[in-house]
Amino acid sequence: MVIKVDRERCASSGQCALTAPEVFAQDEEDGRVVLLDEHATGPEVRRATTGCPTQAISSD
């Protein structure tokens, strides 16, 4: 499983960085998602994925 983020869709809500801070952070400039660990798994990653308001996080 590899996590993917779509920075074009991202609305910089910060939900992901709040839910799974080891996996997601926010760009200092525009707040868009930064993926820290594309191989991370677990309940936090799942919650961040479903919680994203713009469906910018996926994994395959």
Partner 1 sequence: MRAIPTDRGACPFDPPAGMADEPLSKVRLSNGDQVWLVTRHDLVRQVLGDTRFSSEIDGGFLDVPLHAVQPQPGMFIQMDPPEHTRLRRLLTGRFTVQRMQRLRPRIEQIVTERLDALERAPRPADLVAEFALPIPSLVICELLGVPYAERASFQEAGARLLTLTGTQEELEEAMMRLGGYLAELIARKRAEPGEGLLDDLLDSGLSDEELVGIAILLLIAGHETTANMISLGTLLLLQHPDQLALVRQSPEAARTAVDELLRYLSIVDVGMFRRASTDLELDGQIIKEGEFVTCSLAAANRDPALLDRPEELEVSRPKAPHVAFGFGPHQCLGQNLARLEMEIAYPALFRRLPDLRLAVPLEKVPFKSDMAIYGVHRLEVEW
Q: Would you tell me which residues interact with partner 1 (CB under 8 A)?
A: 11-14, 17-19, 21, 25-32, 47, 50-51, 53-55
Minimum Å gap between C-beta 38 and partner 1 is 20
Residues in CB range of 10: below 8 A, 6 or more apart: 32, 33, 54, 56
Nearer to partner 1, 38 or 53 (CB): 53
Nearer to ligand SF4, 41 or 58 (CB): 58
Cα gap 51→60, rounded to integer Å: 17
| Binding pattern for the stretch 41-60 against ligand SF4, x by CB under 6 A and - elsewhere | -----------xxx-xx---
Cα gap 27→46, rounded to integer Å: 21
